Amino acid sequence: MKTLLIIDAQNDFMPGGALPVPEGDKIVPIINGMQHTFDLVIATQDWHPEDHISFASNHKGASVFDEIEIQGKSQTLWPNHCVQGTQGAEFHPDLKTEKFEAIFRKGTDREIDSYSAFYDNSHLKSTGLAGYLKEKGVSELYVCGLAADICVYFSINDALKEGFNCYFIEDASMALDTEKFSEIKKEMIAMGIQIITSESVS
């Protein structure tokens, strides 16, 4: 079953949002244009409580993008983003969602951040996505979305560990830090991830 996983195509990650990915909105028409070629389309949403531990505003004296240690793990502090029930947490208004069979929400536990579509950052809690895909008989996963160097990357990494063959759709994804992502792409290739474009999907 040909499956597309769309990561966090939400307002707060778009230009003008709380944590904008440069040119993030450019992926929306590309994602819309290729959805029809997939048998199964699923999506994720960052879905944080207001008091989430990753928000700089919840740490006295801290600034956005500071690195601190929480429960023995390094944590980047982010601006408040994708807060549950807010406009910023909604999908981009131009994103076609009719074909979405399921939406998996992540980052719902205030005590731990969750970049991956599959697990929180300490792998303590599963979103249930791996089991869902395996029950559907999915073996290959095409992944795109925001941000390529964070949530997309961590999702693909976990997908590989769960035994899925992974394709990264590069033109349907944008990175928060493009310089960092150039190194991540080399790592992806070394891991056996196939980097493709939307044109090759159909």
| Residue 82 annotated to the active site | no
Instruction: Give the pLDDT score at 130.
Output: 98
Catalytic residue among 46, 113, 149, 151: 151
Read off the pLDDT of residues 16-69 as tens digits, 9 standing for 90 and up. Answer: 999 999 999 999 999 999 999 999 999 999 999 999 999 999 999 999 999 998
| Residue 8 annotated to the active site | yes
Checking if the pLDDT of 73 tops 90, the result is no
Instruction: Give the pLDDT score at 71.
Output: 81
Nearest to 175 by CA among 68, 26, 48: 26
| Residue 166 annotated to the active site | no
pLDDT interval class at 72 (50, 70, 90): confident
This prediction has a pTM of 0.96
Domains contained in the chain, CATH given: 3-51+89-201 (3.40.50.850)
Give the C-alpha separation, 116 to 137, whole Å.
21
Read off the pLDDT of residues 77-104 as tens digits, 9 standing for 90 and up. Answer: 999 999 999 999 999 999 999 999 999 9
Catalytic residue among 12, 46, 106, 113: 106
Catalytic residue among 8, 25, 113, 120: 8
- Work out the mean pLDDT of the chain and round it to a whole number: 96
Sheet holding 165-174, edge to edge: 100-106, 40-46, 3-7, 140-146, 165-174, 194-196
Sequence-distant (≥ 6) Cβ neighbours of residue 135 within 8 angstroms: none
Read off the pLDDT of residues 138-163 as tens digits, 9 standing for 90 and up. Answer: 999 999 999 999 999 999 999 999 99
C-beta atoms surrounding 146 within 10 Å: 30
Instruction: Give the pLDDT score at 24.
Output: 98
Using the Cα atoms of residue 16, residue 22, residue 28 and residue 29 in order, give the sign of their dihedral: positive
Note whether 156 and 133 are within 8 A (CB): no
Instruction: Give the pLDDT score at 202.
Output: 74
Give the C-alpha separation, 84 to 101, whole Å.
21
The pair of structure tokens assigned to 182 is 């150039």
